[in-house]
Amino acid sequence: MFYLIGLLSIIFFALAISVISKSIKLNKSLVADENTDDALDSNNNANAYGMIIFWALGTIAGVWSFMVAKPDFLPIAASEHGVKTDSMFWTSMAVVTLAFFVSNTLLLYFAFKYRYNKNRKATFYPVNHKLELIWTVIPAIVMAILVFTGWRTWRDITSQAPSDAVVIEITGHQFGWYVRYAGNDDNQLGNFNYKLIDETNNIGIDFTDKNSFDDFTATELHLPKGKPVLLKIKAQDVLHSVYLPFHRVKMDAVPGMPTKFWFTPNISTDEMRAKLGKKDFNFKVNCTEVCGRGHFGMSITVFVDEPEDYKKWCAEQKPFLTTNPTYLAKVPDNLKAKASKYIPAEPVAVDSTTAPAAEAVSVN
């Protein structure tokens, strides 16, 4: 990278110096000949040569900087759809780079080739319908192909998550992410209500919903490799945006409007560490929607585990209700029996006659 800077700076300064010296020289000749007032002194040729030099140096610098920067470019895709979008990205990039190169080349070359010559007259060539038609239709066809492939991929990515997807809730706040898992018993996230948020229950889990009882929270995101994961995304205060750079996952977190994104991680943290040759490498969740002072530092660590490791990790996690038994008070009476299963040491007095009845009611 250092060489890149060096080379580009040299190009820049060389160009700058050549232009300055040229114009100083011409300035002098201007002073000598006060009458050279029109734009058509030798400066005209200098500028024409400038165009072609710019093209040549620009091409070299462009290709070279690309080669140098490429290893650091697009991080390895670590999700199934990411592999697809990456290949589509490079295909599209090839198409647009071709368009970019050809049209800039023509532009700068024509600027050079047709520089003013007093012995020549410009060609009066106001219109050619056939040409117009050609360069309306060709871009239209290319666009149509790009759009169509893009649309199919987009449709697949945003389709309904598979029913067996692991459901994880991630909530953005100033400045961090809360993570909640659906629990080991029901794979169903319980309701939440922002008015129930307090210092301990910082997500606002609603304990009147029996699905919340086995939900557990975490300060890091664990994902099973090779299994579809459905992220349910929320925000508490302002807009945030969930961004997993390696997984090509990005979705805004909007207060009052839950969003979602599902994907299948296909490289575990360990495999990625091996690939990159970095023992301390970790995936991250970042924020990509400006949210205030701590926006740039709003990240948590992501672990992609082998499925069995993931299961093991989940089994080790304790439901929120287990670690915070005082929240049992928020559970409505008819569900207390079900909830108390998650309350550890202190036994809760349950009326054995009413409990099944309550259960029945809730099922209805």
Partner 1 sequence: MSTATSHAEEVHTHDHSHDHEHEHHELNFWTKYIFSTDHKTIAKQYLISGILWAFIGGSFSIIFRLQLGFPDMQLEWLRPILGGWIDEGGKLDKEFYLALVTMHGTIMVFFVLTAGLSGTFSNFLIPLQIGARDMASGFINMLSYWFFFLSSMIMFASLFLETGPASGGWVIYPPLSALPQAMPGSGLGMTLWLTSMAFFIVSSLMGGINYICTIINLRTRGMTFTKMPLTIWSFFFTAILGLLSFPVLLSAALLLIFDRSFGTSFYLSEIYIQGQALPNMGGSPILYQHLFWFLGHPEVYIVLLPALGMTSEIIATNSRKPIFGYRAMIGSMMGITVLAFIVWAHHMFVTGMNPFLGSVFMFLTLIIAVPSAVKAFNYITTLWKGNLVFTPAMLFSIGLVSLFISGGVTGIILGNSALDINLHDTYFVVAHFHLVMGAASFFGLMAGVYHWFPKMFGRLMNKNLGYIHFWFTFVGVYLVFFPMHYIGIAGFPRRYYSFTALGNDSAAAFTDMNAFISIAAIITFSAQAIFAWNFFYSIFKGKLAPQNPWNSNTLEWTAPINPEHGNWEGEIPAVYRWPYDYSKPGAEQDFIPQNIPFSATKSSNLPEEEAEIAKEKDIEGLLGAQNESYNR
Q: Which residues between 283 and 302 bind partner 1 (CB under 8 A)?
A: 283-299, 302
Binding mask 137-176 for partner 1 (x = CB under 8 A): --xx--x--xx--xx-xxx-xx--------------xx--
| In the complex, minimum distance from the CB of residue 179 to partner 1, in angstroms, rounded to a whole number | 15
Q: What value, to the nearest 5°, has the Cα angle with vertex 245 and ends 319 and 180? A: 10
Q: Which is nearer to partner 1, 32 or 39 (CB)?
A: 39
Number of residues that bind partner 1 (CB under 8 A): 131
Q: Which is nearer to partner 1, 47 or 187 (CB)?
A: 47
- Taken in order 179, 329, 314, 83, the sign of the CA dihedral is negative
Q: Which is nearer to partner 1, 16 or 357 (CB)?
A: 16
Q: Please check whether residue 289 is in contact with residue 283, taking contact to mean a CB–CB distance below 8 angstroms.
A: no
* Displacement of CA 239 from its chain's centroid (Å): 15
Residue 360 binds partner 1, judged by CB under 8 A: no
Q: Please check whether residue 229 is in contact with residue 223, taking contact to mean a CB–CB distance below 8 angstroms.
A: yes
Q: Which is nearer to partner 1, 131 or 361 (CB)?
A: 131
Distances in Å between the alpha carbon of 173 and those of 197, 203, 282, 309?
Answer: 12, 10, 22, 29
Whole-angstrom distance, CA of residue 29 vs CA of residue 42:
10
- The residues with which 232 forms a beta bridge, in sequence order, are 169, 260
Q: Which residues between 91 and 110 bind partner 1 (CB under 8 A)?
A: 92-93, 95-97, 99-100, 103-104, 106-108, 110
| In the complex, minimum distance from the CB of residue 174 to partner 1, in angstroms, rounded to a whole number | 7
Q: Please check whether residue 58 is in contact with residue 107, taking contact to mean a CB–CB distance below 8 angstroms.
A: no
| In the complex, minimum distance from the CB of residue 209 to partner 1, in angstroms, rounded to a whole number | 17
| In the complex, minimum distance from the CB of residue 260 to partner 1, in angstroms, rounded to a whole number | 9
Q: Please check whether residue 75 is in contact with residue 246, taking contact to mean a CB–CB distance below 8 angstroms.
A: yes
Q: Please check whether residue 257 is in contact with residue 272, taking contact to mean a CB–CB distance below 8 angstroms.
A: no
Distances in Å between the alpha carbon of 231 and those of 110, 263, 321?
Answer: 53, 8, 22
Whole-angstrom distance, CA of residue 37 vs CA of residue 45:
16
Whole-angstrom distance, CA of residue 269 vs CA of residue 344:
33
| In the complex, minimum distance from the CB of residue 139 to partner 1, in angstroms, rounded to a whole number | 4
Q: Please check whether residue 68 is in contact with residue 4, taking contact to mean a CB–CB distance below 8 angstroms.
A: yes
| In the complex, minimum distance from the CB of residue 95 to partner 1, in angstroms, rounded to a whole number | 8
Q: Which is nearer to partner 1, 104 or 187 (CB)?
A: 104
Q: Which helix (H) or strand (E) holds 20?
A: helix 2-32
Site stretch for partner 1 (CB under 8 A), options 8-16, 208-216, 223-231, 335-343: 8-16
Q: Which residues between 13 and 72 bind partner 1 (CB under 8 A)?
A: 15-16, 19-20, 23, 26-27, 30, 37, 39-40, 43-44, 46-48, 50-51, 54, 58, 62, 65-66, 69, 71-72
Tokens for 177, please give them. 């992410």
| In the complex, minimum distance from the CB of residue 350 to partner 1, in angstroms, rounded to a whole number | 32
| In the complex, minimum distance from the CB of residue 278 to partner 1, in angstroms, rounded to a whole number | 6
Q: Write out the DSSP string of 269-298.
A: HHHHHHHHT-TT--EEEEE-S--STTGGG-
Q: Which is nearer to partner 1, 152 or 312 (CB)?
A: 152
Residue 230 binds partner 1, judged by CB under 8 A: no
Q: Which is nearer to partner 1, 121 or 308 (CB)?
A: 121
Residue 276 binds partner 1, judged by CB under 8 A: yes
